[in-house]
Structure 1
Amino acid sequence: MNIQELLDHGEDQTIEFKEQVPSPQIIARIISAFSNTEGGTILIGIKEPNIVVGVDPDKFKKMYLQTTSHITGLPKTSYKIIEFQDKKIGIIQVDKASSPVGTTSGYFVRIGETSRPLSAEQLKEIFIKKIDHSKAIESLSQTVIKQTEEIGKLRDSFEQANSWKRKFFYAFLGALATGVAKLLLVMIGITIG
Structure 2
Amino acid sequence: MKTNTNTQYLEKLISEGEHIHQDFKFAISDARKIAKSLSAFANTEGGRLLVGVKDNGKIAGVRSEEELYMIEAAANLYCRPEVELDTRIYHVDGKDVLEVQVNESQQKPIYALDEENRPWAYVRIKDENILANPIHLNIWKHDRAEKDVVMTYTQREQQVLTILQQHAPLTLGQCSRLTHMSRKQISRLLADFIRFGLVEQRFVEHTFYFQLKDSE
State TM-score, norm by structure 1.
0.64
Q: Tell me the C-alpha RMSD between the 2 structures.
A: 2.1
Structure 1: 5+ residue runs without aligned partners? 134-182, 188-193
What residue number does 1:70 align with? Answer: 78
Alignment partners' CA distance in 1, 2:113 and 2:34: 12
Q: Secondary structure at the match of 2:18?
A: coil
1:51-102 per-position Cα deviation (integer Å, ceiling 9, x unaligned) = 0001124122221222120000253322232212320112210001101111
Larger Rg: 2
Corresponding letter in the other structure for 2:132: L
Alignment of 1:134-145 (within 5 A): none
Structure 2: 5+ residue runs without aligned partners? 1-7, 115-119, 148-183, 189-216
Structure with more helix by fraction? 1
Runs of 4+ in 1 over 4 A off after TM superposition: none
Alignment partners' CA distance in 2, 1:24 and 1:97: 20
What residue number does 1:81 align with? Answer: 89
Contact 2:10–2:90 under 8 Å retained in 1: no
Contact 1:57–1:88 under 8 Å retained in 2: no
Change (3 A) 1:53 1:125: same
Q: Aligned residues: percent identity?
A: 21
State TM-score, norm by structure 2.
0.58
Alignment partners' CA distance in 2, 1:85 and 1:113: 27
What residue number does 2:211 align with? Answer: none
Alignment partners' CA distance in 2, 1:121 and 1:96: 19
Q: 2:137 aligns with which of 117, 123, 127?
A: 123
Alignment partners' CA distance in 2, 1:124 and 1:130: 10
Contact 1:28–1:71 under 8 Å retained in 2: yes
Shift of 1:40: 0.3
Alignment partners' CA distance in 2, 1:13 and 1:47: 17
Corresponding letter in the other structure for 1:115: N
Alignment partners' CA distance in 2, 1:61 and 1:132: 36
Contact 1:34–1:95 under 8 Å retained in 2: yes
Alignment partners' CA distance in 2, 1:27 and 1:83: 23
